[in-house]
Amino acid sequence: MSPKLPHNVIAIAAILMMTAIALCFRIPNLSNRPFHGDEAVHAFKFRELWEHGVYHYDPNEFHGPTIYYAALPVVAVSGYRSFPETTERDFRLPVALIGALMVPMLLLLRRFFSISALCWSALLLAISPAFVFYSRYFIQEVPLACFTLGFIAMVWRFHQKPDKTSAIWSGLFAGLMLASKETAPLTFVAVGLGLLAVRGTRPQSDEEGLTTSQGNDLELLGLVIALTTAFVFLSGFFTDLSGPLGYFKSYTPWLKRAGGTDIHKHSFLYYFQTIGWWHADKGPIWSEALILVMAAFGAVKSFRDRQNVFGKFITVFSLSLCLIYSFIPYKTPWCVLSFLVGFIVLAGLGGDYLLSLLKPKWAKSVLCLVLIGFAVQLGFQSYRASFVLPADPANPYVYAQPVNDILKIKERMDSLSLIHPQHEKMIIKVVWNDNYYWPLPWYLRKFNNIGYYNAIPADADAAVVLTVQEFDEALTKKLDPTHIMTGFVGLRPGVFVETFVRMDLWELYIKEKKRKEAAQQVDDPRYQ
């Protein structure tokens, strides 16, 4: 009879397998979707840090700098000499790696989890469509969720047995959360409510007991570590000491936005609909209900079993944070990750509980296969969301996403610059009715003489003028003697870019295009 493997070995092997699955979903073809406007904005914010070595926190936009510092080593090893050489993949890769890192981070909860529960949580985290999709996004939500998972684990360890190690790590993760996004305090409130729900449950012997003073000292240590970590990042590693002060100022504009703008104002049920059941017209059905159902069984188990204190904590934390986000009118779909990570941890407990309800081994095996079957369907949704419909509005995780046509703008500008005497120094003017022309600056990043205007400038002359339809009539009158309007190209659903090209440049472009087409026909065997 062969000896049984230790439980820790089984847990680590299972986690490594789930991590490999997570990487397979997150790493391939990271440039298969146009840069989102938010991603482009963050890429330009990163540019300031990379080119000048200084980070300035902006209390009105951008959020925190953790993703910029995460992107630094990726761009550094690529050997780029200028910002235009960077690609979408360079920025999305660090977030994808952080998203995959969350799976082995579940081992931080190993002492509070059975191996079965750990495996179910790891599987669901690896294949969750929301986590997979946004792990392929250069925005702060996945790092925030990652640091939230670490914070939950270390705070719970501290709650069970206060020590210096858990206090330091709790503080470190809390500081990283603060340095990622201004919504981090909402998570702290939910964690506090979870701890309040299980107060008086700390398992501690007389020998291990700490005095009140010692416990307070450790809590103070964690707080100091948190504030120090946040200060270091928000100050750009001490390059701008006004950054941390600006962080407190940020809550003025963010609190105003929490009331919801016309674009981002959604109903209380928005997040439940996003992950529970989504079906756009003529689109496929989307649902992460498996996670919610398994989490519900985990919550039932937690409150039926007095010994499962950790389950009660995770239940209260997850539901509290979900309700907090749901009551805030301002909603974007990626915010779901902050509390979905809690539901996934709880779902692991639910999967373990469901299997424990069945006694015969064959019944457990059947149920296990059924759950895995549903998990495979989740994986299929992840594949569909990230690789088949990554920019389609029928995808519930697609939000204000630029359409693929935007790539045509880049191709046209590149072609025009090749025949322009000044090449990449040709003058381009973008005339828009607001500041939501992003991600145009990303796709035009190699051009040196480009200007952005929120009104028609007195001198509108340029090699190329890109504008919104609202200015069509006025610019047509102004540019008609010297320019030709070459058509509309989609930017976002319902938003189009209108292109005016100077007549002499356009004539050269058409001649060059015809010459290339003729050359291709000569080389094509069909014309020989």
DSSP string, 197-240: HTTT-----TTT---HHHHHHHHHHHHHHHHHHHHHHHTTTTT-
Q: Supply φ then ψ for residue 390, to 5 degrees.
A: -70, -15
**pLDDT computed for residue 247 by the predictor:** 82
What is the distance between the alpha carbons of residues 399 and 334, in angstroms, rounded to a whole number?
A: 9
Coil, strand or helix: which one is 2?
coil
Cis peptide leading into residue 439 (ω within 30°): yes
Owner of token pair 């985290």: 125
Coil, strand or helix: which one is 283?
coil
Angle formed by the axes of helices 337-356 and 361-383, to 10°?
160
Beta strands in 435-514 (DSSP E): 450-453, 464-467, 483-492, 495-502
CB of 105 closer than 8 Å to CB of 150: yes
- In terms of C-beta density within 10 A (0-12 exposed, 13-18 middle, 19 or more buried), how is residue 32 classed? middle
What is the distance between the alpha carbons of residues 516 and 522, in angstroms, rounded to a whole number?
A: 10
CB of 295 closer than 8 Å to CB of 347: yes
What is the distance between the alpha carbons of residues 14 and 155, in angstroms, rounded to a whole number?
A: 25
Q: Which of 160, 164, 184 is nearest to 310 (CA)?
A: 160
What is the distance between the alpha carbons of residues 40 and 86, in angstroms, rounded to a whole number?
A: 12
**pLDDT computed for residue 1 by the predictor:** 42
Pairing verdict, β 278-279 and 285-286: antiparallel
Sign of CA dihedral 416, 418, 420, 426: positive
Q: Which of 94, 130, 96 is nearest to 385 (CA)?
A: 130
DSSP symbol at 279 = E
CB of 167 closer than 8 Å to CB of 221: yes
Angle formed by the axes of helices 337-356 and 184-197, to 10°?
30
CB of 322 closer than 8 Å to CB of 190: no
CB of 443 closer than 8 Å to CB of 464: no
> In a structure prediction context, what are the per-residue pLDDT tens digits for the chain, which is 528 residues long?
445 556 678 788 889 999 999 999 999 999 999 999 999 999 999 999 999 999 999 887 788 999 999 999 999 999 899 999 999 999 999 999 999 999 999 999 988 888 999 999 999 999 999 999 999 999 999 999 999 999 999 999 999 989 999 999 999 999 999 999 999 999 999 999 999 999 876 665 444 566 777 778 899 999 999 999 999 999 999 998 888 888 888 777 666 666 655 677 889 999 999 999 999 888 899 999 999 999 999 999 999 887 889 999 999 999 999 999 999 998 999 999 999 999 999 999 999 999 999 889 999 999 999 999 999 999 999 999 999 999 999 999 999 899 999 999 999 999 999 999 999 999 999 999 888 899 999 999 999 999 999 999 888 889 999 999 889 889 998 998 899 999 889 998 888 999 999 999 999 999 988 888 777 766 655 444
What is the distance between the alpha carbons of residues 131 and 136, in angstroms, rounded to a whole number?
A: 9
Owner of token pair 């009660």: 312
Predicted TM-score (pTM) of the model is 0.92
